[in-house]
Structure 1
Amino acid sequence: MAKVSIMQRVKAQLNQLPPGALVGYADFVQEPGQFAAVAAALSRLSKAGEIIRFAKGQYYRPHLSRFGTVPPSDQAVLAVVGATTGQLVPYATGISVYNRLGLTTQVPAVVTLASTRRRRNLPRRLRTVVRPALEQASDVPLLQWLEVLRDVRRIPDTSPDRVVTRVAKELRLLTPAARRRLVALASQQTPPRGRALLGALLENIPNKKGAAALRQTLNPLTTYRLGISAKVLPNRAAWHIQ
C-alpha cells in the first residue's frame, strides 16, 4: 500500500476518534510491515500540530479548552500503561483520584499509578508509587480510599477534618463484606497512621469488630499527628490521634 494511502487512512481514522483518545500503530494497520509507514505518517501529523505525541508510538488528537490543550484522560493513560506493565488492573492514586472523589479541586499535571515496583521510561505525565500487587479488580475503590487515609494531611485545597468527614460518610455506605475487605487490605498494606484513622472511624459507625482488628496491628505507644479535631473525630484520643 502506498504511503499516501496510509496517510489518508490515518487521517480518516483520527478524525473519527474523540479528542484525547490514545492511538498507536496497531490501531491503523495490522501488518507489522506497514508500521514504519504509519509511524512516518503520525510523525508528520505531529510536526504539523494535528496530533500530539504522548509516548513512544502513542499519539492523541488534542482538544483545546480556554485553559489550553486538554491531555488524554486518566483512563486512557492507565489502559496504555496497563498493557505495558502487565498489571491485573492498573489503578490511579494521588491527586487525580482525590479530585474525582470530590476531595480537592486541584487537577494534577501528573497521574500517579500504583505499581509493584518503580518503573522508568513511562510517559512524562505519569509516575509510579510502590504498592503490593493487586489481587482483584474489585479492590481498587477500597484501595483508593485507603490512599485517602494515607494522605489525609497532604490532600491540597482541603483540610483533614473535611477529608475525614467525607470518608466517614463513605464507610457508612459500604456493605459489611466490603468493610471486612477494607480492614483486611488496610492490615496488609496501609501505614499505621492510616490504620489508626480507619479504626477510629469504624469504631464510630459502629463496627467494633473491624476496629478491634485494626487496633491489634498498632503500637499502643505511638501517637499520630494528623491535624484532625476532636469535633470531627470524638474518639481520636483513644486512638492516639492528634
Structure 2
Amino acid sequence: MAKDSIMQRVKAQLDQVPLGALVSYADFVQEPAQFAAVAAALSRLRKAGEIIRFAKGQYYRPHISRFGTVAPSDQAVFAAVGAATGQLIPYATGVSVYNRLGLTTQVPAVVTLASTRRRRNLPRRLRTVVRPALEQVSDVPLLQWLEVLRDVRRIPDTSPDRVVTRVAKELRQLTPPARRRLTELACQQAPPRARALLGALLENLPGKKDAGALRRTLNPLTTYRLGISAKILPNRAAWHIQ
C-alpha cells in the first residue's frame, strides 16, 4: 500500500478518535507488515504537532485547555494496557485505590495497575503488578478490597487496626452473593495472610460457610503477623493472626 494511502487512512481514522484516547499501530492496520508504514505516518503527524507520543507505539490527539495540554485519562491508559495484555481491562490497585477508599491521605506519584504480565514502555507514572486475568468487570471492586487485605500492613498514613475496621464495615454492606464471590476470588488468588484475615472478618458476620471455605485453604501451622489488635479482631487467635 502506498505511503500516501497509509497517511490518508491514518489521518481519516484519527479524526474519528476522541481527544485523549490512545491509539497504536494495530488501530489502523491489521497486517504487521504494514506497521512500519503506520509508524512512519504517526511519526510525521507527531512532528507536525497533530498528535503526541504517549509511550512506545502509542499516541493521542491532545486536548488543549487553558492550563495546557491535557494528558490521557487513567481509563484511556487502562484500556490501552488491557488491549496490549489481552485483558478485559487492567484495574487500578495500590495507594491510588487506597486513597479513593478513604484508607490513606497519601496521593501516589505512580499509579499501579494489576495486569496479567509486567508491562514495559509504560509512562513513568504507571507500573504494573502481576495478577490473574480479570474474568468480569464487576469483580474489580472486590479484587481491590482483596488488595487492601494483601497490603494491610503497608498502606501508608494509617494502621492495620484502622484498615480492618474499614474493611469490616464494607463487608457488612455487601450482599450475600457478593460475599460469596469475594470468597471465591480470595480462594483463587489471594495470599494466605489475606485469606486468613478475610476469613476472620467473615466469621463475625451471618453465614459462616464463606469463612469455612477460606479456613480450608490455610495451613493450620502458619502464623500471620499483621499487627492487628485483639480489640479490633477478637477472633484473631483462632485464625493464627497476630
Q: Same fold (TM over 0.5)?
A: yes
Alignment of 1:88-99 (within 5 A): 88-99=88-99
Alpha-carbon spacing, 1:136–1:240, altered in 2? closer, same or farther (3 Å): same
Secondary structure, aligned partner of 1:45: coil
Write the deviation string for residues 135-194 of structure 1: whole angstroms up to 9, x where unpaired.
222211111110110000111111111111111111111111111111111111111100
Alpha-carbon spacing, 1:227–1:60, altered in 2? closer, same or farther (3 Å): farther
Number of the residue aligned with 1:165: 165
Q: 1:52, 1:62 within 8 Å by CA — same for their partners in 2?
A: no
Residue 49 (structure 2) aligned to one of 39, 45, 48: 45
TM-score when scaled to structure 2? Answer: 0.78
Number of the residue aligned with 1:236: 236
Taking the aligned partners of 1:63 and 1:93, their CA distance within structure 2 comes to: 29
Alpha-carbon spacing, 1:132–1:13, altered in 2? closer, same or farther (3 Å): closer
TM-score when scaled to structure 1? Answer: 0.78
Superposition CA RMSD, Å: 3.5
Number of the residue aligned with 1:196: 196
How far 1:41 sits from its partner (Å)? Answer: 3.4
Aligned-residue sequence identity (percent) comes to: 74
Write the deviation string for residues 58-93 of structure 1: whole angstroms up to 9, x where unpaired.
246478999x99754321210111122221222112
Write the deviation string for residues 201-236 of structure 1: whole angstroms up to 9, x where unpaired.
101123311111111111112111111111211111
Secondary structure, aligned partner of 2:114: strand
Write the deviation string for residues 108-137 of structure 1: whole angstroms up to 9, x where unpaired.
222222222223233332222121222222
Number of the residue aligned with 2:227: 227
Taking the aligned partners of 1:96 and 1:60, their CA distance within structure 2 comes to: 26
Taking the aligned partners of 2:116 and 2:24, their CA distance within structure 1 comes to: 28
Alpha-carbon spacing, 1:191–1:63, altered in 2? closer, same or farther (3 Å): farther
Question: Structure 1: where are the runs of 5+ without partners?
Answer: none
Taking the aligned partners of 1:114 and 1:126, their CA distance within structure 2 comes to: 11
Aligned length, in residue pairs: 230
Out of 97-106 and 155-164, give the one that drifted further.
97-106
How far 1:53 sits from its partner (Å)? Answer: 3.6
Alignment of 1:65-80 (within 5 A): 72-80=72-80
